[in-house]
A and B are shown apart, each in its own frame.
Chain A
Amino acid sequence: MMTSKPASFWTRYANPTAFQRLSNQIAPLAGGAAIAFIALGLWFGLVASPADYQQGDTVRIMYVHVPAAWMAMACYTSMAIASVAGFVWKHPLADVAAKSTAPIGATFTALALVTGALWGQPTWGTWWVWDARLTSVLVLFFMYLGYMALWSAIDEPTRAARIAAVACLVGFINVPIIKFSVDWWNSLHQPASVIRANGPSIDGSMLRPLLLMAFGYTLAYVWLLFVNMSAELAERRAARLLAGARPTATLVAEPAE
């Protein structure tokens, strides 16, 4: 009995209708909480926190930038985990989750790159430097784009999922490189200051908005993920219904490879 319990949990939500019910409950909750956390984080970040003694008010960009960069890596990691799950256990929703994560992760990566450039101009005196951290995050952005291009190039969903999973896992090498780039190479980008062996090196008044934003972003990811996955499942159902209703039409529409 004990062993069959987790299996039933996983298999229950392999049914798209059951998943749709779960999604309909979780998505609005996560969305509401995300908006609340981000609003609170922005209030603390933009109004109720001190300006940095060196950076001045520019430091407030960090409350948008740092959690976005965390999410850029976290989304790719989730994509890799979902790819492995789709690969090993052939769970149909794992493939959908991996595919649905990519545009969200790409958006967080773009947000991190843009806010980083906006912060770099007044602080470093340049929009962009080709150092290890910035370059590896840019590479991450291109990997998201390549992953999405691969999905859209293959018509058949199961094969697309397997092929995209291989590409995703090869690209995962980049994630630890991003994480440790500031330690391995002499970089203009500062090293980690929140998750450190001796505790965070930033003041509580600045840590509070940072963590609130990070929670908000994570909840926003959950929200958008469920919305994306529902849309993907609905799209596939529509494609199946369409193929069933007009079998000859699809035969004509798809040229022989």
Chain B
Amino acid sequence: MRGLSAIIARDVSLAFRAGGGAAQTVIFYALVILIFVLGVGPDPAVLSRVAAPVLWTAALLASLLSLDRMFQSDFEDGSLEMLVQRTPTPGLLVLAKALAHWLTTAGPLLLATPLLAIIAGIEPAAVPPLMLSLLVGTPALSLTGAIGAALTFPLRRANVLMTILIGPLFAPTVIFGVAAATPGADAAPMLFLGAATLSTVVIAPLAGGAAIRFNLQ
């Protein structure tokens, strides 16, 4: 357990150092929203309708940015094999890595969301449900992404392949996430979103752990 928290602390501090990528993730998030809004046009009625889906899509794209490096940098300098040997099961390593990824991407994104949501034309009353849906849904993005990263880390040009593999798996999270972000929605979408996240908590260590073992053989 201490080893796992050390892995998380190491990844988090690396991400927040200069050039670590956490700040770039937020800048990318803001830029995607800006481009979407410029594309949709300034009509407030249209914007308030599409802003929540746009923010969700932007968050998804931003969380893809740093995924391909999740295991790759450790694999290249040889520390991944050591980490796998020292953890009881590679599944725990996947959980720790996904948690660190979530802290360093979803964390900054959530902090930036209220301001960007207002700029994108969301009613102030609609911001809390959006924040809550992002809070509940983004762990699934990091965990599903960890499966993709574990499948592809030894490959050259892993980034595109990883996106093709995990893109379809993001479907339930995006569908229920956007539905739960709608103000006045009933509890069902939020519960389904939570269920999607919780199921990835189970699936990601199993699948990601197996993928890491096979990739290191």
Which A residues contact B (CB, under 8 angstroms)? 135, 139, 142-143, 145-146, 149-150, 153-154, 159, 162-163, 166-167, 169-171, 173-174, 257
Contact = CB atoms under 8 A, between A and B. Distances in A.
B151 interface: yes
B164 interface: yes
10 contacts: A145-B164, A149-B165, A150-B161, A153-B152, A159-B214, A162-B217, A166-B211, A171-B169, A173-B199, A173-B203
A167 B151 CA distance: 8
Main SS of the interface on chain B?
Answer: helix
A146 B164 contact: yes
Interface in B137-171: 147, 151-152, 154-157, 161, 164-165, 167-169, 171
B211 A163 contact: yes
Nearest to A141: B168
Nearest to B217: A159
B198 to A, nearest CB: 13
A38 B168 CA distance: 33
Top 4 A-B residue pairs of the complex, sorted by shortest distance between their CB atoms: A162-B214, A146-B165, A139-B168, A142-B168
Contacts of A145: 164
Contact of B164 (A149, A163, A169, A173): A149
Contacts of B157: 153
Given A146-B167, A150-B165, A173-B199, 12 more contacts: A149-B164, A150-B151, A153-B155, A163-B211, A163-B214, A166-B207, A166-B210, A166-B214, A170-B147, A170-B207, A171-B168, A257-B154
B113 to A, nearest CB: 26
B165 A163 contact: no
Interface residues of B, number: 22
Contacts, number: 55
Contacts of B151: 150, 163, 166-167
Contacts of B5: none
Contact of B156 (A135, A143, A257): A257
B10 to A, nearest CB: 25
A151 to B, nearest CB: 11
A143 B168 contact: yes
Interface in B41-62: none
B215 interface: yes
A169 B165 contact: no
A167 B169 CA distance: 11
Contacts of B169: 170-171
Interface in B149-200: 151-152, 154-157, 161, 164-165, 167-169, 171, 199
A177 B15 CA distance: 37
A169 B203 CA distance: 10
Contacts of B167: 142, 146
B217 A149 contact: no
Interface centre among B165, B167, B210, B215, by most chain A C-beta atoms within 10 angstroms, is B165
B214 to A, nearest CB: 4
Contacts of A170: 147, 169, 203, 207
A160 to B, nearest CB: 10
Contacts of A159: 214-215, 217
Interface centre among B152, B154, B167, B169, by most chain A C-beta atoms within 10 angstroms, is B169
A153 B154 CA distance: 10
Interface centre among A142, A166, A174, by most chain B C-beta atoms within 10 angstroms, is A166
Nearest to B171: A139
A1 B154 CA distance: 45
